[in-house]
Amino acid sequence: ESELGKQFELFKSDPLTQSWLPDAAIFDAIQSMPENHKVDWWEWQDESLRNRDKSALAKVASENEERIARFEAVQFLFHAAWLELKEYANARGVKLLGD
- Going from N- to C-terminal start, the domains of the chain cover 3-91
Q: What is the pLDDT of residue 94?
A: 96
Using one digit for the tens of pLDDT, what is the confidence trace for 43-59? Answer: 999 999 999 999 999 99
Using one digit for the tens of pLDDT, what is the confidence trace for 8-53? Answer: 999 999 999 999 999 999 999 999 999 999 999 999 999 999 999 9
Contact 97, 81 (CB under 8 A): no
**What is the b/e burial string over 68-99, where b = at least 16 CB atoms within 10 angstroms of the residue's CB?**
beebbeebbeebeeeeeeeeeeeeeeeeeeee
Torsional class of 33: left (φ above 0), alpha (ψ -120 to 50), beta (otherwise): beta
Q: Which residues fall within 8 angstroms of residue 75, CB to CB, at 6 or more apart? A: 21, 24, 25
